[in-house]
Structure 1
Amino acid sequence: MQKGENTRKLIIAKAAELFNQKGYSGTSLSDITEITGIKKGGIYRHFSSKDEIALEAYNYAGNIVGSHFTQAIDQQETAVGKLLANLHVYENVVEDPPFIGGCPLLNTAVESDDAHPGLRQRAQQGLKNTLDAMKVIISEGVESGEFKADLDIDALATFTLSIMEGGVMMSKLEGNNRHMQMNIENLSAYLKQVCLRIPE
């Protein structure tokens, strides 16, 4: 790997941590130069603007979190287990999040607005990808008979993601994992009592 590529990857990785902790608006180019040890001229040799760095940083953070989801889901055999695995990734979000600063999707979605259309578009795509992945899990559960045949797949995916992101937000804000843990318990009870087909 060439030195220039290594430098670019370093900038992306370190900037991703800053953006996910301080937000896009709260992170300056000076912050990036300080954390990377690379002067502004060196930064601009690899990126044309802070916007470009932010887009690459979001992709980087999303890929890391995505790998945690994949690993957790792959360890489960049931649709219920796979859905809950998503939440378990953030079970200890205060002390040990899958990426420093919490959920990149949540953080970017909250901050992005008309002033940052590129980031907003990335967050929207991240939302769609996450919901689609959950819908696949639920659809497989319906096909296997684990879930009721008339289950509203779209609604359950939305509910699951809302429970996850709400738990992350509340736990991070309070500095206590109890909200995330309660949401895991409550979603588990809901899936077992309401969604599962009861064997005859």
Structure 2
Amino acid sequence: MTKAEKTKEFIIARAAPLFNKKGYAGTSMSDIMKATGLAKGGLYGNFESKDEIAALAFEYSYNQLKEDIGQKIKSKKTGVEKLQTILQYYKNYTVTPSIEGGCPLLNTAVDADDAYPFLKKKARLALQEMLGSLQHILKKGIQEGSFRTDLNVKKEAELIFAQIEGGIMMAKVLDDVTVLNRLLESLRHRMETEYKNHP
């Protein structure tokens, strides 16, 4: 890795939590200067704009989340265990998030919406990847004979994701993590009752 690449990586690592906590509009170049200890020239010497930093900062935070969950589910053998691990991962998430500022996908999706199309595009790709991973896990459960063969994996992946992210949003707004935990528990119950393959 060259010195320039190392500097770029350092800037992104320091800027990522700022964007994840304060959003695009709430994060200024002077905030990034303060977090990195670099002058404006040092930032613009490595990046063309704040947009470029914000896009890479989202990728950095999202990849952190992906790696974190990935490490935990990789060791699990079955689709059922993998899904249970995901639900366990998000328990108490708003109180003890794995990434500073909470879920980068939820934060960026809400922040970007129609105001910042370049961020919305990044969030869309991340969402599609997350839904694809959930579908893959559900299909694995079907192949293993744990889940019903007629389970609509697309629909269930959307439901799981929406319930987790909705739970995080509600728990944050209400300052009450039990809301999220109850929704996770209802997903667990759904998995144990609705998904089960009864021979």
Superposition TM-score, scaled by structure 1 size: 0.94
**Residues 87 and 188 of structure 2 are in contact (CA less than 8 Å); yes or no, is this contact kept in structure 1?**
no
TM superposition outliers: structure 1 runs of 4+ over 4 Å: none
Whether 1:159 aligns to 2:159 is: yes
**1:23-102 to 2 correspondences below 5 Å:** 23-102=23-102
Query: Structure 1 residue 89: deviation in Å?
Result: 2.2
Whether 1:185 aligns to 2:190 is: no
Residue 5 of structure 2 corresponds to which residue in structure 1?
A: 5
**Residues 73 and 82 of structure 2 are in contact (CA less than 8 Å); yes or no, is this contact kept in structure 1?**
yes
**Residues 105 and 126 of structure 2 are in contact (CA less than 8 Å); yes or no, is this contact kept in structure 1?**
yes
| Distance in 1, Cα, partners of 2:76 & 2:173 | 30
| Distance in 1, Cα, partners of 2:94 & 2:65 | 15
User: What is the CA RMSD across the aligned residues, in angstroms?
Assistant: 1.4
Amino acid corresponding to residue 170 of structure 1 in structure 2: M
% same residue: 41
Residue 197 of structure 1 corresponds to which residue in structure 2?
A: 197
Residue 117 of structure 1 corresponds to which residue in structure 2?
A: 117
**Residues 146 and 197 of structure 1 are in contact (CA less than 8 Å); yes or no, is this contact kept in structure 2?**
yes
Query: Structure 1 residue 139: deviation in Å?
Result: 0.8
Query: Structure 1 residue 141: deviation in Å?
Result: 1.1
- Unpaired runs of 5+ residues, structure 1, are none
* Structure 1 residue matching 2:176: 3-state secondary structure: coil
* Structure 2 residue matching 1:130: 3-state secondary structure: helix
Superposition TM-score, scaled by structure 2 size: 0.94
| Distance in 2, Cα, partners of 1:38 & 1:187 | 46
| Distance in 1, Cα, partners of 2:160 & 2:46 | 39
**Residues 148 and 195 of structure 1 are in contact (CA less than 8 Å); yes or no, is this contact kept in structure 2?**
yes
- Unpaired runs of 5+ residues, structure 2, are none
**Residues 78 and 140 of structure 2 are in contact (CA less than 8 Å); yes or no, is this contact kept in structure 1?**
no
Whether 1:146 aligns to 2:154 is: no
